[in-house]
Each structure stands twice: as structure tokens, then as C-alpha cells.
Amino acid sequence: MKEKWLLLGLYLAALSGLRAQAASDSAQACATGNLNYVFAEHQAFLPATLSEPIYIELYNVAKNKLWAPPLQDTRLKTSGFGMRWGTFHHGIDLGLRTGAPVFAVFDGLVKLATYESGYGNYIILRHDNGLETLYAHLSRHRVRAGQTVKAGQLIGLGGSTGFSTGPHLHFEVRYRGYTLHPALIFDFKSSHQMRSDKFFIKPHHFRHYGNTTPARGYLYHEAGPGETISYIAQKYQVSPQEIARLNRLQQEQLQAGQILRIR
């Protein structure tokens, strides 16, 4: 029972923060006249009720969809993702020197480049792959809202603005406004850093929002040239109808590189 109350408290706290963010988005949209996305991303998706994985292509060199680390050196992690000082810390903190360059991790659009008392100077990028990333406590912005950016492009300079105990980058990864543990995607102690070019958002990745779906294994297959649903079904000894149902497919032929859930 105590654990359920804790999960409920975390979810309500997170929801309160998202409402504040949505209000900020709304004010910006009203100023620019772009109202298409206001609140939609927050209302259309509830992490606590997610029951099936969501596929994200992080990068694809063949399509010139690249990635980059947010800092030149990310090995110094000063604070992790999770409960901290009685509240939930929705990102990770990476140590840096004031003025150190901060880079966009993927191609995308600058959603916000502004100041807030907690984050200080911060930037939110909306990426082509469906994710958003947030970079906080900057000393300077080097981009503006509405600007397109490329992976590895300078977007700001590190600092200690807002609620901060010293120079660092607070880095968040979000899906439709809800945070994910950045270490699911990035290995900041590795020389390569990206764990894979593909990522599946799973229900248990949103436990901090109250999702109680048990973690379980999933099997996926990347379709090769000329492969069909029937061929893949025979390979894994499942029915073609089940593959079509799991992937909401209506045709037998597949595209090379298409990711299918098998079970």
C-alpha cells in the first residue's frame, strides 16, 4: 500500500510539472500564432496506461539521420535519474566547465529556448525520431525557438543558472512530454555512447509515472529485401495473422528494414 501511494504521488507531481510546461508551450504558441500542437501531445498519450512497446529509430547513417553526444566529455555524471532529495529527478546531470559547448544530440527543431527559475537557461529540441531532449542550466543560448538544428550543432554554453549547486548540464529525454531514463539510450561512459540505432519504449520505462505493467521480453525482426509476412511467420513458427495483428499490417509485402514485432 505504501508503494502505491508513493507511485501516485510521483505521478501527480509529474503531471503538475507537465501542466506547467503545457502552459509555457501555450504562451509561446499564442505569441507565434502556431496553435496546432498545444496540449495535444500531453492529452493523446498517458504513460501510466501504455501496454505495448513503441519503436523509435534513433539514427540511420544511410538516411543521413545522425547523432552526437551533448558534451565533448560526458564521463562525469554528478546526479542520476530517479528520486533525489525527496523529489523525482527527471534527467541526469553531467559535469562541465562554465562556457563549455553543448550540442544537439539529434536533428530537430528548437521548441523552446528560454529561462525558468528551476532549469535556468534551457532548451527543448523536438527531434524527427519522435523524441524530445532538454538541456538546462546553460549560461547562454546559441539557438532560438523555431530554428532547425543538426546533430552535433552548437546550441548553448554550459553554466549554472536556475536552481543549481554548480556548473553542470541537466539532460532529459522525453517522449510526448514524458521523461525517459537517458541511460536507456546513451551510455555516457562509452566512447560510442549510443547503445543502438533502434530503441523500444516499453511500459516499464514509465514506472515513475505509475505504470505497473510487468517487464517482459519481446521478440522483433528486421525485414530483409523481399521478405513477406508468411516467410517471417514460418521462420519463427507463428501465424501470419498474429504478426499482422501485432503490427497492424494489412498487406503481405514488407519494406526492407521494417521492424516487426513477432511476439
What pLDDT, in 10s, does the model give residues 165-183? 999 999 999 999 999 999 9
Range of the domain at 34: 2-209
CA distance 181 to 188: 12
Instruction: Give dist(CA 204, CA 109) in Å, integer.
Output: 28
pLDDT at res. 42: 47
Under a CB-based contact definition with an 8 Å cutoff, are residues 71 and 94 in contact? yes
Domain for residue 53, yes or no?
A: yes
pLDDT at position 32 is: 31
pTM value is 0.73
Please report, for the domain that includes residue 247, its CATH number: 3.10.350.10
Judge if 131 and 95 occupy the same domain: yes
For residues 90 and 177, membership in a common domain is answered with yes
| Domain-located, residue 191 | yes
What's the pLDDT tens digit per position in 15-60? 444 444 444 443 343 333 333 333 344 457 899 999 888 889 999 9
Task: Scan for cell 509515472, then name that residue.
Answer: 209
The pLDDT of residue 106 is: 97
Grid cell for residue 66 = 545522425
Categorize the per-residue pLDDT at 120 as very low, low, confident or very high, splitting at 50, 70 and 90: very high
Does residue 138 sit in the same domain as residue 237? no
Q: What would the grid cell of residue 126 be?
A: 523536438
**Per-residue confidence band for 216, with pLDDT thresholds at 50, 70 and 90:** low
Average pLDDT of 229-233? 85
Q: Is residue 215 a part of any domain in this protein?
A: no
Q: Is the pLDDT of residue 244 over 70?
A: yes
